[in-house]
Amino acid sequence: MNGEQVWLMAAAGGAVALVLLLACALLWRNSRRLAARPADLEARTATREAGTEATATMERVESATYVITGLHDAEADVEAETVQAVPARIDGRLFADIVARESVVKAAGLAHGLRRALSAENRNRIRFEMKREVKRSRKQRRAHLKAAMRQIREDAA
């Protein structure tokens, strides 16, 4: 394993570690936020257990946001008003599950991309293209140098 490969593997490992660190920080922050509101969660649980789902529904309808879906006749819109309720908050475990799944999918995608990018075939193709570009730039520099020398000789004569 040469130095370039070691460097690339270290960079890939660092990227994966950074993604995991960010996911852990998000989970920790959200768990602290949820732990800071136990009274709110207890109140919600008590209302559900007491069978007062009707009042909870009324509260959701009152706090719903209304979305304007078009610019039609105002009288017709009053009759056929579309109400879209704001989605309810999700609990901490569900949120952590969603974040963990997204993180796993992103990490798997990153690992697949790195594995494909660091394959021997791609490294050889990149090496070949780099050599070809270096040769082209050398030829271009030589051509510019010859043209400049020719211009100097013509100006001197």
Q: Is the pLDDT of residue 40 over 90?
A: no
Average model confidence (pLDDT) across the chain = 78
CA distances from 89 to 94, 96, 131 (A): 10, 13, 56
CA distances from 86 to 54, 59, 73, 123 (A): 17, 12, 26, 50
Q: What is the pLDDT of residues 72-87, one digit of tens each?
A: 555 555 555 555 556 6
Q: Is the pLDDT of residue 12 over 60?
A: yes
Instruction: Answer yes or no: are the C-beta atoms of 96 and 77 closer than 8 Å.
Output: no
Instruction: Please state whether the predicted TM-score (pTM) of the whole model is above 0.85.
Output: no
